Amino acid sequence: MNRRTPVSARLPDFTWDTLDAAGPPPPAPPPRRKNHGMGPPRAPGAGRIRQALADASNAPGYPLTAGTPALRNAIAAWVARACGAGVDGLGVLPTIGSKELVAWLPTLLGLGPGDVVVVPSVAYPTYEDGARLAGATTVRTDSLTALGPDPRVRLVWVNSPGNPTGRVLPAAHLRKVVEWARERGAVVASDECYLPLGWDAEPVSVLSPQVCGGSYDGVLAVHSLSKRSNLAGYRAGFVAGDPALVAELLKIRKHAGLIVPAPVQAAMVAALGDQEHADAQRERYRVRREKLRAAFTGAGFTVEHSEAGLYLWLTRDEDCWETVDRLARRGILVAAGVFYGPAGARHVRVALTESDEHVDAVAGRLAGF
Protein backbone atom coordinates (compact mmCIF):
# COMPACT_ATOMS: atom_id res chain seq x y z
CA MET A 1 0.00 0.00 0.00
CA ASN A 2 1.41 3.37 -1.03
CA ARG A 3 1.14 6.11 1.53
CA ARG A 4 0.57 9.69 0.49
CA THR A 5 3.20 12.25 1.40
CA PRO A 6 2.04 13.91 4.64
CA VAL A 7 1.00 17.55 4.45
CA SER A 8 3.62 18.36 7.09
CA ALA A 9 6.31 17.45 4.55
CA ARG A 10 5.36 20.58 2.57
CA LEU A 11 6.40 22.78 5.47
CA PRO A 12 9.84 23.74 6.79
CA ASP A 13 10.81 23.38 10.44
CA PHE A 14 8.82 25.76 12.61
CA THR A 15 10.60 29.13 12.64
CA TRP A 16 10.91 29.59 16.37
CA ASP A 17 12.09 26.02 16.99
CA THR A 18 15.19 26.82 14.97
CA LEU A 19 15.87 29.97 17.00
CA ASP A 20 15.82 28.03 20.28
CA ALA A 21 19.12 26.41 19.33
CA ALA A 22 20.69 29.54 17.85
CA GLY A 23 23.81 30.99 19.30
CA PRO A 24 26.35 29.42 21.62
CA PRO A 25 25.51 29.45 25.34
CA PRO A 26 26.40 32.71 27.06
CA PRO A 27 29.37 32.67 29.45
CA ALA A 28 28.78 31.46 33.01
CA PRO A 29 27.02 32.60 35.03
CA PRO A 30 24.55 33.04 32.14
CA PRO A 31 22.50 36.24 32.20
CA ARG A 32 18.79 35.77 31.95
CA ARG A 33 17.98 36.01 28.27
CA LYS A 34 15.95 38.97 27.06
CA ASN A 35 13.79 37.59 24.27
CA HIS A 36 13.35 40.22 21.56
CA GLY A 37 12.90 37.57 18.88
CA MET A 38 9.38 36.17 18.82
CA GLY A 39 7.65 39.26 20.18
CA PRO A 40 4.77 38.04 22.38
CA PRO A 41 3.01 40.81 24.33
CA ARG A 42 3.95 41.02 28.00
CA ALA A 43 1.50 43.55 29.46
CA PRO A 44 -1.76 42.28 30.95
CA GLY A 45 -5.00 42.82 29.11
CA ALA A 46 -7.13 45.76 30.20
CA GLY A 47 -9.48 45.05 33.11
CA ARG A 48 -12.57 45.90 31.11
CA ILE A 49 -11.66 43.32 28.46
CA ARG A 50 -10.88 40.60 30.98
CA GLN A 51 -14.15 41.31 32.77
CA ALA A 52 -16.07 40.97 29.51
CA LEU A 53 -14.42 37.58 28.98
CA ALA A 54 -15.34 36.46 32.49
CA ASP A 55 -18.92 37.73 32.24
CA ALA A 56 -19.44 35.71 29.05
CA SER A 57 -17.81 32.53 30.38
CA ASN A 58 -21.16 30.79 30.93
CA ALA A 59 -21.47 29.82 27.27
CA PRO A 60 -22.94 26.30 26.98
CA GLY A 61 -24.26 26.77 23.45
CA TYR A 62 -22.43 26.96 20.15
CA PRO A 63 -21.14 30.43 19.25
CA LEU A 64 -21.90 32.08 15.92
CA THR A 65 -19.21 31.56 13.30
CA ALA A 66 -20.17 34.91 11.79
CA GLY A 67 -19.82 36.59 15.18
CA THR A 68 -22.55 38.05 17.34
CA PRO A 69 -24.36 41.12 15.99
CA ALA A 70 -22.56 43.15 18.67
CA LEU A 71 -19.18 41.90 17.47
CA ARG A 72 -19.93 42.46 13.79
CA ASN A 73 -21.03 46.01 14.59
CA ALA A 74 -17.92 46.59 16.73
CA ILE A 75 -15.62 45.36 13.95
CA ALA A 76 -17.35 47.50 11.33
CA ALA A 77 -17.21 50.58 13.56
CA TRP A 78 -13.51 50.06 14.33
CA VAL A 79 -12.67 49.54 10.65
CA ALA A 80 -14.50 52.74 9.81
CA ARG A 81 -12.48 54.67 12.41
CA ALA A 82 -9.07 53.08 11.93
CA CYS A 83 -9.09 52.29 8.22
CA GLY A 84 -11.26 55.10 6.86
CA ALA A 85 -13.64 52.55 5.36
CA GLY A 86 -17.34 52.96 4.83
CA VAL A 87 -19.50 50.34 6.49
CA ASP A 88 -21.94 50.05 3.58
CA GLY A 89 -21.16 46.93 1.57
CA LEU A 90 -18.39 45.89 3.96
CA GLY A 91 -18.08 42.23 4.92
CA VAL A 92 -16.64 41.39 8.35
CA LEU A 93 -15.79 38.07 9.99
CA PRO A 94 -14.04 37.18 13.28
CA THR A 95 -11.14 34.73 13.06
CA ILE A 96 -9.21 32.62 15.57
CA GLY A 97 -6.36 35.09 15.61
CA SER A 98 -4.88 36.46 12.40
CA LYS A 99 -2.29 33.71 11.83
CA GLU A 100 -5.00 31.07 11.40
CA LEU A 101 -6.63 33.12 8.65
CA VAL A 102 -3.29 33.87 6.97
CA ALA A 103 -2.31 30.20 6.96
CA TRP A 104 -5.60 28.87 5.60
CA LEU A 105 -6.69 31.69 3.28
CA PRO A 106 -5.27 30.12 0.09
CA THR A 107 -7.04 26.84 0.90
CA LEU A 108 -10.28 28.62 1.85
CA LEU A 109 -10.17 30.50 -1.47
CA GLY A 110 -9.83 27.24 -3.38
CA LEU A 111 -6.21 27.64 -4.49
CA GLY A 112 -4.19 24.57 -5.35
CA PRO A 113 -1.45 23.20 -7.60
CA GLY A 114 -0.79 25.48 -10.55
CA ASP A 115 -1.95 28.61 -8.72
CA VAL A 116 0.46 31.35 -7.65
CA VAL A 117 0.52 33.31 -4.39
CA VAL A 118 2.58 36.51 -4.45
CA VAL A 119 4.28 37.57 -1.21
CA PRO A 120 6.75 40.38 -0.41
CA SER A 121 10.44 39.59 -0.86
CA VAL A 122 10.93 39.89 2.91
CA ALA A 123 7.80 38.66 4.62
CA TYR A 124 6.04 36.93 7.51
CA PRO A 125 6.72 33.19 6.91
CA THR A 126 3.06 32.15 7.25
CA TYR A 127 2.18 33.68 3.86
CA GLU A 128 4.37 31.08 2.19
CA ASP A 129 3.28 28.38 4.61
CA GLY A 130 -0.33 28.97 3.61
CA ALA A 131 0.52 28.58 -0.05
CA ARG A 132 2.35 25.33 0.73
CA LEU A 133 -0.63 23.97 2.67
CA ALA A 134 -2.81 24.59 -0.39
CA GLY A 135 -0.23 23.09 -2.76
CA ALA A 136 0.15 26.43 -4.56
CA THR A 137 3.37 28.10 -5.70
CA THR A 138 4.87 31.14 -3.96
CA VAL A 139 6.54 33.99 -5.81
CA ARG A 140 8.49 36.52 -3.73
CA THR A 141 8.63 39.97 -5.28
CA ASP A 142 8.09 43.64 -4.46
CA SER A 143 7.38 44.50 -8.10
CA LEU A 144 4.22 43.07 -9.61
CA THR A 145 5.07 44.49 -13.02
CA ALA A 146 7.90 41.96 -13.21
CA LEU A 147 5.28 39.18 -13.22
CA GLY A 148 3.61 40.41 -16.40
CA PRO A 149 0.18 39.06 -17.31
CA ASP A 150 0.63 35.74 -15.46
CA PRO A 151 -2.89 34.27 -15.27
CA ARG A 152 -1.88 31.85 -12.52
CA VAL A 153 -1.70 34.60 -9.87
CA ARG A 154 -4.72 34.11 -7.64
CA LEU A 155 -3.67 35.82 -4.40
CA VAL A 156 -1.41 38.78 -3.64
CA TRP A 157 -0.29 39.44 -0.06
CA VAL A 158 0.68 42.95 1.00
CA ASN A 159 1.83 43.85 4.50
CA SER A 160 1.99 47.45 5.65
CA PRO A 161 3.35 48.21 8.17
CA GLY A 162 5.57 45.30 7.30
CA ASN A 163 6.72 42.43 9.46
CA PRO A 164 9.69 42.24 9.92
CA THR A 165 10.83 45.46 8.25
CA GLY A 166 8.35 48.03 9.59
CA ARG A 167 8.11 49.42 6.07
CA VAL A 168 5.03 51.49 5.23
CA LEU A 169 3.66 51.32 1.70
CA PRO A 170 2.19 54.59 0.43
CA ALA A 171 -1.41 54.76 -0.75
CA ALA A 172 -0.36 55.16 -4.39
CA HIS A 173 1.63 51.91 -4.25
CA LEU A 174 -1.23 50.00 -2.64
CA ARG A 175 -3.67 51.40 -5.19
CA LYS A 176 -1.52 50.09 -8.05
CA VAL A 177 -1.43 46.65 -6.42
CA VAL A 178 -5.23 46.60 -6.15
CA GLU A 179 -5.64 47.74 -9.75
CA TRP A 180 -3.13 45.16 -10.99
CA ALA A 181 -4.88 42.36 -9.14
CA ARG A 182 -8.36 43.38 -10.26
CA GLU A 183 -7.26 43.35 -13.89
CA ARG A 184 -6.28 39.70 -13.43
CA GLY A 185 -9.11 38.57 -11.18
CA ALA A 186 -6.77 38.01 -8.23
CA VAL A 187 -7.50 38.71 -4.57
CA VAL A 188 -5.46 41.24 -2.59
CA ALA A 189 -5.06 40.25 1.07
CA SER A 190 -3.60 43.02 3.19
CA ASP A 191 -2.07 42.05 6.55
CA GLU A 192 -2.68 45.19 8.61
CA CYS A 193 -2.07 43.87 12.12
CA TYR A 194 0.30 46.77 12.88
CA LEU A 195 -1.77 49.52 11.24
CA PRO A 196 -2.31 51.53 14.47
CA LEU A 197 1.45 51.68 15.14
CA GLY A 198 2.78 54.33 12.80
CA TRP A 199 5.87 56.16 14.15
CA ASP A 200 7.72 57.98 11.38
CA ALA A 201 5.03 57.39 8.73
CA GLU A 202 1.25 57.09 8.68
CA PRO A 203 0.08 53.65 7.46
CA VAL A 204 -2.87 53.45 5.07
CA SER A 205 -5.36 50.59 4.95
CA VAL A 206 -6.22 48.79 1.74
CA LEU A 207 -9.84 49.55 2.70
CA SER A 208 -9.24 53.30 2.48
CA PRO A 209 -11.07 54.92 -0.45
CA GLN A 210 -7.76 56.35 -1.69
CA VAL A 211 -6.56 52.77 -2.18
CA CYS A 212 -9.62 50.73 -3.14
CA GLY A 213 -11.61 53.54 -4.75
CA GLY A 214 -14.58 52.97 -2.45
CA SER A 215 -15.12 49.43 -3.75
CA TYR A 216 -14.13 46.36 -1.76
CA ASP A 217 -14.19 44.02 -4.74
CA GLY A 218 -11.33 41.53 -4.50
CA VAL A 219 -9.90 43.12 -1.36
CA LEU A 220 -9.50 41.69 2.15
CA ALA A 221 -7.86 43.30 5.21
CA VAL A 222 -6.63 41.13 8.08
CA HIS A 223 -6.43 42.54 11.62
CA SER A 224 -5.51 41.31 15.08
CA LEU A 225 -6.01 42.31 18.71
CA SER A 226 -2.90 40.41 19.85
CA LYS A 227 -0.54 43.39 20.06
CA ARG A 228 -2.99 46.33 20.09
CA SER A 229 -4.82 44.94 23.13
CA ASN A 230 -2.37 42.32 24.49
CA LEU A 231 -4.77 39.52 23.58
CA ALA A 232 -2.43 37.06 21.88
CA GLY A 233 -3.62 34.35 24.26
CA TYR A 234 -7.26 34.99 23.34
CA ARG A 235 -6.69 34.32 19.61
CA ALA A 236 -8.78 37.30 18.54
CA GLY A 237 -8.62 38.54 14.96
CA PHE A 238 -10.87 39.44 12.07
CA VAL A 239 -11.02 39.97 8.35
CA ALA A 240 -12.91 42.74 6.55
CA GLY A 241 -13.53 43.64 2.92
CA ASP A 242 -15.24 42.13 -0.12
CA PRO A 243 -18.65 40.90 1.14
CA ALA A 244 -18.79 38.12 -1.45
CA LEU A 245 -15.39 36.78 -0.40
CA VAL A 246 -16.28 37.10 3.28
CA ALA A 247 -19.51 35.16 2.66
CA GLU A 248 -17.49 32.43 0.94
CA LEU A 249 -15.08 32.25 3.86
CA LEU A 250 -17.98 32.14 6.30
CA LYS A 251 -19.65 29.23 4.53
CA ILE A 252 -16.49 27.13 4.58
CA ARG A 253 -15.66 28.05 8.16
CA LYS A 254 -19.13 26.94 9.27
CA HIS A 255 -18.51 23.50 7.79
CA ALA A 256 -14.99 23.34 9.23
CA GLY A 257 -15.94 24.49 12.73
CA LEU A 258 -13.56 27.45 12.66
CA ILE A 259 -15.35 29.48 15.33
CA VAL A 260 -14.17 32.14 17.78
CA PRO A 261 -15.36 31.09 21.27
CA ALA A 262 -18.25 33.13 22.66
CA PRO A 263 -16.31 34.58 25.64
CA VAL A 264 -13.56 35.76 23.29
CA GLN A 265 -16.16 37.38 21.04
CA ALA A 266 -17.45 39.33 24.04
CA ALA A 267 -13.91 40.38 24.94
CA MET A 268 -13.34 41.55 21.37
CA VAL A 269 -16.40 43.81 21.58
CA ALA A 270 -14.98 45.41 24.72
CA ALA A 271 -11.50 45.78 23.20
CA LEU A 272 -12.65 47.30 19.92
CA GLY A 273 -14.83 49.81 21.74
CA ASP A 274 -12.10 51.02 24.10
CA GLN A 275 -9.39 53.22 22.62
CA GLU A 276 -7.88 54.29 25.95
CA HIS A 277 -6.11 50.99 26.67
CA ALA A 278 -4.82 50.85 23.08
CA ASP A 279 -3.39 54.36 23.36
CA ALA A 280 -1.66 53.45 26.62
CA GLN A 281 -0.10 50.35 25.05
CA ARG A 282 0.99 52.32 22.00
CA GLU A 283 2.81 54.76 24.30
CA ARG A 284 4.64 51.86 25.96
CA TYR A 285 5.80 50.66 22.57
CA ARG A 286 6.90 54.17 21.59
CA VAL A 287 9.11 54.55 24.66
CA ARG A 288 10.63 51.08 24.21
CA ARG A 289 11.28 51.80 20.54
CA GLU A 290 13.23 54.95 21.33
CA LYS A 291 15.36 53.17 23.96
CA LEU A 292 16.11 50.15 21.79
CA ARG A 293 16.80 52.23 18.70
CA ALA A 294 19.32 54.35 20.60
CA ALA A 295 20.94 51.29 22.17
CA PHE A 296 21.38 49.39 18.93
CA THR A 297 22.52 52.33 16.82
CA GLY A 298 24.98 53.20 19.58
CA ALA A 299 26.31 49.65 19.29
CA GLY A 300 27.02 50.07 15.58
CA PHE A 301 23.80 48.74 14.06
CA THR A 302 22.01 50.39 11.16
CA VAL A 303 18.23 50.67 11.38
CA GLU A 304 16.48 50.22 8.03
CA HIS A 305 12.80 51.05 7.41
CA SER A 306 11.19 50.48 10.85
CA GLU A 307 9.02 53.56 10.44
CA ALA A 308 6.03 51.71 11.88
CA GLY A 309 5.04 48.49 13.57
CA LEU A 310 6.47 46.53 16.48
CA TYR A 311 9.99 45.76 15.29
CA LEU A 312 13.36 47.26 14.48
CA TRP A 313 14.97 45.90 11.30
CA LEU A 314 18.71 46.00 11.95
CA THR A 315 21.93 45.15 10.18
CA ARG A 316 25.67 45.07 10.87
CA ASP A 317 26.26 44.10 7.24
CA GLU A 318 27.22 40.57 8.26
CA ASP A 319 25.52 37.19 8.06
CA CYS A 320 22.42 37.34 10.25
CA TRP A 321 23.38 34.19 12.18
CA GLU A 322 26.66 35.80 13.16
CA THR A 323 24.70 38.73 14.57
CA VAL A 324 22.28 36.38 16.34
CA ASP A 325 25.21 34.54 17.92
CA ARG A 326 26.95 37.75 19.00
CA LEU A 327 23.80 38.98 20.73
CA ALA A 328 23.00 35.58 22.23
CA ARG A 329 26.37 35.66 24.01
CA ARG A 330 25.09 38.78 25.77
CA GLY A 331 21.79 37.20 26.64
CA ILE A 332 19.80 39.03 23.94
CA LEU A 333 17.66 36.91 21.61
CA VAL A 334 16.67 38.35 18.24
CA ALA A 335 15.13 36.87 15.11
CA ALA A 336 17.38 36.00 12.18
CA GLY A 337 16.41 37.97 9.09
CA VAL A 338 16.64 34.88 6.89
CA PHE A 339 13.48 33.61 8.63
CA TYR A 340 11.63 36.09 6.45
CA GLY A 341 13.27 35.25 3.14
CA PRO A 342 16.70 35.14 1.52
CA ALA A 343 16.71 38.93 1.13
CA GLY A 344 16.87 39.24 4.93
CA ALA A 345 20.07 37.22 5.29
CA ARG A 346 22.09 40.19 6.63
CA HIS A 347 19.47 41.56 9.01
CA VAL A 348 17.90 40.74 12.36
CA ARG A 349 14.52 41.66 13.79
CA VAL A 350 14.18 43.09 17.29
CA ALA A 351 10.73 43.16 18.92
CA LEU A 352 9.47 46.01 21.10
CA THR A 353 7.30 43.75 23.23
CA GLU A 354 9.62 42.80 26.06
CA SER A 355 9.03 44.35 29.50
CA ASP A 356 10.37 47.83 30.28
CA GLU A 357 12.84 46.25 32.72
CA HIS A 358 14.22 43.99 30.02
CA VAL A 359 14.43 46.81 27.49
CA ASP A 360 16.46 48.88 29.96
CA ALA A 361 18.77 45.92 30.54
CA VAL A 362 19.51 45.53 26.82
CA ALA A 363 21.28 48.90 26.65
CA GLY A 364 23.75 47.81 29.32
CA ARG A 365 24.41 44.51 27.62
CA LEU A 366 25.11 46.27 24.31
CA ALA A 367 27.75 48.54 25.84
CA GLY A 368 31.05 47.82 24.13
CA PHE A 369 29.43 45.53 21.58
Please identify, among 245, 274, 303, the residue that sits at the C-terminal boundary of a domain: 274
Same domain, 155 and 253: yes
Same domain, 285 and 254: no
Same domain, 220 and 73: yes
* Domain CATH for 358: 3.90.1150.10
Same domain, 107 and 239: yes
Q: What is the pLDDT of residue 4?
A: 62
Residue 74, phi then psi, degrees to nearest 5: -65, -40
Instruction: Note down pLDDT in tens along the chain; length 369 residues.
Output: 445 666 665 666 666 565 555 554 444 344 555 555 556 666 777 789 999 999 999 999 999 999 999 999 999 999 999 999 988 899 999 999 999 999 999 999 999 999 999 999 999 999 999 999 999 999 999 988 877 777 799 999 999 999 999 999 999 999 999 999 999 999 999 999 999 999 999 999 999 999 999 999 999 999 999 999 999 999 999 999 999 999 999 999 999 999 999 999 999 999 999 999 999 999 999 999 999 999 999 999 999 999 999 999 999 999 999 999 999 988 899 999 999 999 999 999 999 998 888 899 998 899 877
Same domain, 67 and 32: no
* Domain CATH for 76: 3.40.640.10
> In terms of residue numbers, what domain contains 33?
7-44+276-366
Q: What is the pLDDT of residue 27?
A: 47
241 in any annotated domain = yes
Same domain, 130 and 216: yes
83 in any annotated domain = yes
53 in any annotated domain = no
Same domain, 244 and 332: no
Same domain, 107 and 218: yes
Same domain, 222 and 323: no
Number of domains in the chain: 2
pTM over 0.75: yes
Same domain, 137 and 245: yes
Please identify, among 211, 242, 274, the residue that sits at the C-terminal boundary of a domain: 274
Same domain, 24 and 131: no
Closest by Cα among 227, 222, 192, 281 to 39: 227
Cβ(236)–Cβ(224) below 8 Å: yes
15 in any annotated domain = yes
Same domain, 230 and 360: no
